[in-house]
Amino acid sequence: MALRILIAGMVGDSLPPPYAGIPKRALMLARVWKREGHAVGVCLLHEKTPSDDMGAGADYFFEYPKSPSRFDKILFFLQYAVKDPALLLSLLRAYRETYGFLSKEGILYSAYGVWLDGVVRAFRPTVILSEMALIRTFMAAQIAKRHQIPLALDTYAEVHDVSMKGMDRFAAHRAEVWRKFLAMPQVIIAPSRYCAKGPLAYAPPEKVKVIYSGIEVAKYAAAFSEDKAATRRDFGLPADAFIVMAVGAYTPRKGHSQIIKAVAKLAPEEGQFAVVLCGAGDSAWLKTLADEQGMADRIFFFQGLSERELIRLYGTADCYVDASNTPRACLGMSLTEAMAARLPTIAYDYGGLPEVVFHGDNGFLTPVDDIPALAEAIIRVKRLPPEERERMGSRGLEIAQELVDLNACAGRMLRELERIISSP
């Protein structure tokens, strides 16, 4: 049976670049499902030039023609309030009944619900997959119910991370809100066992499924076969340094600052070290930290790389470090990409990271926020004989093939979508 899958709910995102996060995951799923004969629509915040849909070939629906200003958002609300005031008011009532209050966010995103209703009428999905347990998904659930369309929820850290923006608004009746919210989808999908713990506190266990974010393992494995010295020259990286790499947005929760501090602690007699960071956002604060730590000439920042160039960049590194240190450390694709590229991995023993990094097998785990332990782990990898480092990298590739193969993960998710469509 060919499905018509509408992916909705993404927050503040558009098409790549950058090649990261939920848009990347959604486009890779869309590409697999399209290849198998299904129709896929993807809802995004705004159009962007240049952009790359990674060959997904989906149908795209944009809320705005460009990144919206505050004025654009007001106009958006007025446009859709006028278009269907009865639907907008019903969405506001549903929001208040669930959350116990009305907020400016709730009022604004009721217009998103009206917009999404138009998308549903145009695309005619047989199932909706909504990303993140946030207000867009709440509105998507109301529209799905209105059209009697099954709803699947992809959730990350929203349910368990009380520090996320806006979560304090319903702290007094948190359990009641989440029970109502998580009753709306027919299946809840989490990208790690760690991320499943939030939904499992409020929803029946049989409703919650763990499906890792799939990656194209073979593409990243190809990074291992490239000439490392030549690739380093292409990227302007030191030929003889032991290179530590991390990929992720330039925000504190990704732990890049802790990696810089850890490498700064390494004694000169241990040899030359360098750090390669690749991410989106403002890196100025990290550059200031690198200068303060005496590391300005040994930290290399990259941004806006194509997927092909990112794969090549993995091929320049000697080990990969994931120092994510907040409750949002679900399990990013960059860690499993590095494993597929056969890099020994170092990660904090926290969140979803220990689900793929096994101490002494494909890398090392250290206590979260323990910068001296992180530094010691880097030294430990560097001191390994080359054949042991290669063995660790090969084990990482094997684990990636077993857990995060894109076709397998997309197939598991598709079967869940088919199941909720066929359920009474």
Q: What is the pLDDT of residues 70-103, one digit of tens each?
A: 999 999 999 999 999 999 999 999 999 999 888 8
Q: At what angle do helices 284-292 and 256-264 cross, to 10 degrees?
A: 20
Q: What is the pLDDT of residue 247?
A: 96
Q: Please provide the average confidence, as pLDDT, over all residues in the chain.
A: 94
pLDDT, mean of residues 124-132: 97
Q: Is the peptide bond before 17 cis (omega within 30 degrees of 0)?
A: yes
Q: What is residue 66's DSSP assignment?
A: S
Which residue in this structure is represented by tokens 């090392």?
Answer: 364
Q: How far is CA 410 from CA 2, 26, 116, 174, 394, in A?
A: 15, 10, 24, 32, 24
**In b/e form, how buried is each residue of 366-381, taking b as 16+ CB within 10 angstroms?**
bebebbebbbbbbbbb
Domains of the chain, first to last: 4-214+406-422 (3.40.50.2000), 217-403 (3.40.50.2000)
**In b/e form, how buried is each residue of 30-56, taking b as 16+ CB within 10 angstroms?**
bbbbbeeebbbbbbbbbebeeeebbeb
Residue 28 pLDDT grade (very low, low, confident, very high; cuts 50, 70, 90): very high
Q: What is the pLDDT of residue 243?
A: 97
* Closest to 109 in 3D by CA, of 139, 144, 74: 139
Q: What is residue 219's DSSP assignment?
A: H
Q: What is the pLDDT of residue 13?
A: 66
pLDDT, mean of residues 7-11: 89
**In b/e form, how buried is each residue of 87-114, taking b as 16+ CB within 10 angstroms?**
bbeebbebbeebbeeeeeebeebbbbbb
Q: What is the pLDDT of residue 159?
A: 92
Identify the burial level of 415 via C-beta atoms within 10 angstroms of its C-beta, where 0-12 means exposed, 13-18 middle and 19 or more buried: exposed
Residue 270 pLDDT grade (very low, low, confident, very high; cuts 50, 70, 90): confident
Q: What is the pLDDT of residue 166?
A: 75
Residue 12 pLDDT grade (very low, low, confident, very high; cuts 50, 70, 90): low
Instruction: Check whether 120 has a pLDDT greater than 70.
Output: yes
pLDDT digits (tens, 9 = 90+) for 149-186: 999 999 999 999 888 877 777 878 899 999 999 999 99
Distance separating alpha carbons of residues 275 and 255, to the nearest angstrom: 13
pLDDT digits (tens, 9 = 90+) for 219-238: 999 888 789 999 999 999 99
* Closest to 15 in 3D by CA, of 7, 6, 24: 24
pLDDT digits (tens, 9 = 90+) for 280-338: 999 999 999 999 999 999 999 999 898 899 999 999 999 999 999 999 899 989 999 99
Instruction: Check whether 69 has a pLDDT greater than 70.
Output: yes
Two structure tokens written together for 407: 């076709």
Two structure tokens written together for 370: 């323990």
Residue 19 pLDDT grade (very low, low, confident, very high; cuts 50, 70, 90): confident
pLDDT digits (tens, 9 = 90+) for 296-310: 999 999 998 988 999
Cβ-based neighbour number of residue 402 at 10 Å? 11
Residues with Cβ within 8 Å of 104's Cβ and at least 6 positions away in sequence, in order, are none
**Strands 345-348 vs 363-366: parallel, antiparallel or unpaired:** parallel
% of the chain surpassing 70 pLDDT: 100
Phi and psi of 45, rounded to 5°?
Answer: -65, -50
Q: Are 99 and 133 in contact (CB under 8 A)?
A: no
